[in-house]
Amino acid sequence: MRTIESQIQIACMKWFRYQYPKLSKLCFAVPNGGNRSIVTAKILKAEGVVAGVSDIILLCHNRFYHSLCIEMKQPKGKQSKNQIAWQTEAEKANNKYVVCHSVDEFIEVVETYLKDK
């Protein structure tokens, strides 16, 4: 399941870095998922990891939002409860939050967001 989502996200990030090289360091993945040992999970939580944070964050404002937060999902994937809760908080803080299920959807979201710069 994670493999399909991972492949989509990799393709999205390759496209972004090619299309927007000047913004490439401001668009990054948040590696919140995956299997980790209990010890590693406790360390990460103590370091500030927050459950539900979006997969990709673009730290670039436009006329309407402070940043763009993108949750990547495989074609029929759904958000977890933690992701929905984090989305609510991100949106309250005037950030754009979008769930993308494909590279085409990602491209449309990014281009629309950056057009309003």
For the entire predicted model, the pTM comes to: 0.93
| Cα 9 off chain centre by | 9
Neighbour count for residue 7 (Cβ, 10 Å): 12
**Which residue has better confidence, 1 or 50?**
50
Average pLDDT in the 11-22 region?
A: 98
Angular region, 10: left φ>0, alpha ψ -120 to 50, beta rest: alpha
Average pLDDT in the 3-28 region?
A: 96
pLDDT of residue 35: 79
| Range of lowest pLDDT (3-7, 70-74, 97-101) | 3-7
Are 70 and 58 in contact by the 8 Å Cβ rule? The answer is yes
- Mean pLDDT (the chain) is 94
Of the pLDDT bands very low, low, confident and very high (cuts 50, 70, 90), residue 32 is confident
| Cα 35 off chain centre by | 19
